[in-house]
Amino acid sequence: MQRKWRLRRREDFARTYRGGKSFANGQFVVYWSRQPIAEPFRLGISASKKIGNAVVRNRMRRVLKEIVRKHADRICERTDMILIVRAGAVGKPTEELEKNVLHVLRKAGLLKPR
């Protein structure tokens, strides 16, 4: 994932949580808000200790970054979003995770029509 696509600062996370909208499915929650400075978009990933140890959390982050990188051309521009991993996502195959990520993004209205 490119550096300019990362959401890193605490203020950015807080603004997105506070002023954004949220949508969820069984494996993921997405918070998002429009930001004119986010070009094309910025992504933050949150994986709490509830889902497992550091190895599990970091693997989930890597897999999610790869899924978003692969579908970056379909994601709406000028958007800050935070993907939160739920415990139901742990241990699932990558194809199923990809399907669930796209589902929650579509539900949130963050995917461009084909």
Structure pTM?
0.90
- Kindly report, residue by residue over 50-88, the tens digit of the pLDDT: 999 999 999 999 999 999 999 999 999 999 999 999 999
Alpha-carbon distance of 58 to 51, in angstroms, equals 11
Architecture category of domain 10-108 in CATH: 2-Layer Sandwich (3.30)
Question: Could you tell me the residue ranges of all domains in the chain?
Answer: 10-108
Alpha-carbon distance of 96 to 48, in angstroms, equals 20
Asked whether the predicted pLDDT for residue 100 surpasses 90, the reply is yes
